[in-house]
Amino acid sequence: MIQIGTPLSPSATKVLLLGSGELGKEVAIELQRFGCEVIACDRYANAPAMHVAHRSHVFSMTDAKALRNILDLEQPHLVVPEIEAIATDVLAAWEKEGHTVIPTARATQLTMNREGIRSLAAHTLKLPCSPFEFVSKLEDALAAATRLGYPNVIKPLMSSSGKGQSTVRSAEQMPDAWNMAQAGARSAGSGRCIIEGFIHFDYEITILTVSASDGIYCCPPVGHVQIDGDYRESWQPCDMSETAWQKSQHIAKTVVKELGGYGLFGVECFVCGDEVIFSEVSPRPHDTGLVTLGSQRISEFGLHARAILGLPIGEIELLQPSASVAILGEGTGVPRFEGIDRVLNIKHTQLKLFGKPVCEGKRRLAVVVANGSDIKQARATARQAAAQLNIVLD
């Protein structure tokens, strides 16, 4: 029998979030609906989830000593990584001592490094993947690109939100692409990259897959658009053949079962007709899944909260076709939003302002979620609404 205590009391069920962005904020809200005591951590102050958590800590989560100190101080029942830049060796040691890491320490270690998860998918699980090679030097990258052919895609082994990723169309472009990968890596200049053969896919999908006490479930497929490796739009359900959908679910459930533990996973795949090719997996709610705030009876964040608390899912219910559009700020300053009334005057639309304390460069600051009678209408409404919002940086 699952028991949950009372926050800020000796019986509290304490959940430590490692990463407190907009996705972590939604997870924190869902956990608090179940009466959990939430502690939000991030490398910067006033991160979105910190606004709604019971308390927070600011430190670099790649700092092993600092991370261990917080674990010892808080003694959480559940440690929930919400980003990839974490000293995962500390999580592995914490788990070995008998504590719970979501979904597992092994899953966080494998998925934060593209070499680990791609090798697992292609070689251990024998899932269809794009052709790829791992390289440590520019000379190796040029040789691999020759074997794989142009165009190809280069990515740092450890990065997020498309940082350091680029499409290379000729050998002449590789030096600049290599330098970009070095600069965009989680540890700048860390060197090792993956070169992938280019896949001429029809579309990309995310299979939001939840592993819970009562089984493994797949949400209806989420279609999405990425620019420079970062999410810009998503919609649910994505229209696809039944054959492709069955293959997608097989890939998602195979990866999630192998990684183990409880929680929601974002499994990304390329679809070419009836063929499905594995791309990546995140062992946490996915940015493209923001659309589920409008499309599903229980959003991906609610599903994640239920699963990690050991609660059953029962079923996943799609309420209506929906779409999301991410809204980015560009420049440097503290965001201020104009036109909120214009956004909300458009029927069947939600607006979520993330509350990030500052914008530096291009940064996702808000999202519009819209419903429609079909996906075409939902996407058009979401785009129309997003265009009404103006971001001023002070």
Closest CA to 22 of 48, 44, 57: 48
List the one residue out of 50, 85, 28, 45 whose CA is nearest residue 285.
28
List the catalytic residues: 160, 162, 268, 280, 287-288, 364
Classified by CATH at the fold level, domain 131-197 comes out as Dna Ligase; domain 1 (3.30.1490)
Local confidence pLDDT in tens for the 394 residues of the chain: 789 999 999 999 999 999 999 999 999 999 999 999 999 999 999 999 999 999 999 999 999 999 999 999 999 999 999 988 899 999 999 999 999 999 999 999 998 878 888 999 999 999 999 898 999 989 888 888 899 899 989 988 876 666 788 888 988 998 888 988 888 776 544 678 989 988 889 999 999 999 999 999 999 999 999 887 789 999 999 999 999 999 999 999 999 999 999 999 999 999 999 999 999 999 999 999 999 999 999 999 999 999 999 999 999 999 999 999 999 999 999 999 999 999 999 999 999 999 999 999 999 999 999 999 999 999 999 999 999 999 999 9
Q: Look up residue 96 and give its amino acid.
A: K
Three-class SS of residue 223? strand
Helix (H) or strand (E) holding 23: helix 22-33
**CA 290 – CA 118 distance, rounded (Å):** 25
Phi, psi of 259 (to 5 degrees): -70, -35
Length of the chain: 394
Distance CA 184, CA 47 (A): 22
Report how many helices (DSSP H) and strands (DSSP E) the chain contains, helices first.
Answer: 12, 20
Domain ranges, ordered by start, for the chain: 14-101, 131-197, 203-393
The answer to whether the pTM exceeds 0.85 is: yes
Using alpha carbons, select from 330, 336, 383 the residue that is nearest to residue 355. 336
Q: How far is CA 246 from the centre of its chain?
A: 23
Fold of 14-101: Rossmann fold (3.40.50)
Q: CA torsion 64→95→161→159, rounded to 10°?
A: 50
Considering the domain 203-393 in this protein, what is its CATH number?
3.30.470.20
CA-to-CA separations, 69 to 39, 41, 94, 143, 189, in angstroms, rounded: 14, 12, 11, 44, 28
Q: Do 131-197 and 14-101 fall under one CATH topology?
A: no
CA distance 35 to 351: 26
- Residue pair 156/182 in contact by the 8 Å Cβ criterion: yes
